[in-house]
Chains A and B, each alone.
Chain A
């Protein structure tokens, strides 16, 4: 009977478990979970603050998931070493777990810059885990003034989640726009205006330089008074276990299409890895939940003796704030097609006869048709792209393709 060890207990780990079980029903699976919770939907923590989910529904899998899949989960322990010679993983309590194959699914951690005076701030939080969220929740009340450092996906979802529970929220960022990792200037402005209309204050092109108790001193010379500080500057892939092992590591752990690292029998999946973004053919950390699952499943299937590749990863995000949704995918490279009306915007980017990326704000009907064009690298001259640009619809495809999709098993 094979022995599998999965380091990490997030969505990539679930993918890995389900991948292993797709080929090996019997092997022993041990999951090392630093967090003392069964797997939960990590992006749901902001929805928890917003009361759109609760501690029961935030679970990513049913309560009997581990048992049904024959997994032993070791909670509250951390893996400190992988020995690829002895094929073992050592935990922080000196437990040694032997493996035939191991998956490093250690995720990422908040990056906290060395702010002067940060140690004088009493109520300061990251916003990555359920425990962060519960601690933040217990620190706020309806009179709280909250300062969030970082106007990215994490900082802004935190702002939305806290919005109706606190008195005031200010978000600052060194970048000149919100959501700078996924939006260009004009799109960011639409989202910023919408967030401001809902009461979120911004200080962009500016960030905290130092703190003294309840005061932030900004680069611009301004000061901000706050009760609660949330640090959402950015994240870093947790690569230390893999790099100590001698596996190749860049900004994330290097994996091939089978999710194997450069060390044999060691696989990796999720936010700690570097994937191949096929929309621009570049290696980058794609810290996205769907990507984590698909990488995890691929790793698991191969660990179990199968042969699976995951070779069509792209960045993609669906995120909404106060009812206004924005969806993005791929790379914003090439020729741009644009359609704009009030609070609605569509930008499609094409290059080399393929759709490479898009930004859509407001109208998100059937967007998946665009996403699949990017992932499948569909040649645009094989479809009626003039129609498709305006409306995402299968009428733009050949009758043959359409009949296969809607009249056959897909």
Chain B
């Protein structure tokens, strides 16, 4: 299946993916209204040092430990996508404790949110990859299918 992959040698560290993610998941029609002068809570974040930068988001692991660890049974994997039912999440952060790549961070309210590949928002495909100016984030097939 298609997933979000990162080509770190192409990442400019511009953080545009974070803004595109926050906007795509805001449910709003206008990016300026959605994001201007507000703290943003994207589901992807850019890490790096003076030499390298790259974006980190959910890897939708083959054997996701967050799904097994969620105390509320709020996280499940459906058709290859690791999804969270926010109405069940109580914000205990156990998923943050176990995510091996550090991809998860809570939303503004403290309830968890995560990358669901923009398949359910108006973008319809990962906004981070769609808007990446240097193809450092791509949405494609790599490796074996599930």
Contact = CB atoms under 8 A, between A and B. Distances in A.
Given A289-B94, A294-B68, 8 more contacts: A14-B73, A58-B72, A320-B93, A365-B102, A368-B97, A368-B102, A369-B102, A395-B48
Contacts of A42: 71
A395 B5 CA distance: 17
Interface string B89-111: 01111111111111011000010
B71 A409 contact: no
A408 B143 contact: yes
Interface of A: 14-15, 41-44, 47, 52-53, 57-61, 289-290, 293-294, 297, 316-320, 323, 325, 327, 329, 364-369, 371-372, 387, 392-395, 399, 402-403, 405-410
B82 to A, nearest CB: 12
Interface of B: 3, 5-8, 47-49, 52, 54-56, 59, 61-62, 65, 68-69, 71-73, 87-88, 90-102, 104-105, 110, 142-144
A316 B8 CA distance: 32
A319 B69 contact: no
B101 A406 contact: yes
A406 B56 contact: yes
Most chain A CB within a 10 A radius of its CB, from B3, B8, B98, B144: B98
Contacts of B6: 406-407
B47 A289 contact: no
Nearest to A407: B5
B110 to A, nearest CB: 8
Contacts of B93: 318, 320, 325, 327, 364
A369 B8 contact: no
A409 B68 contact: no
B94 A318 contact: yes
Given A316-B97, A407-B142, A402 B8 contact: yes
A174 B56 CA distance: 45
A323 B106 CA distance: 12
Contact of B71 (A289, A365, A366, A407): A289
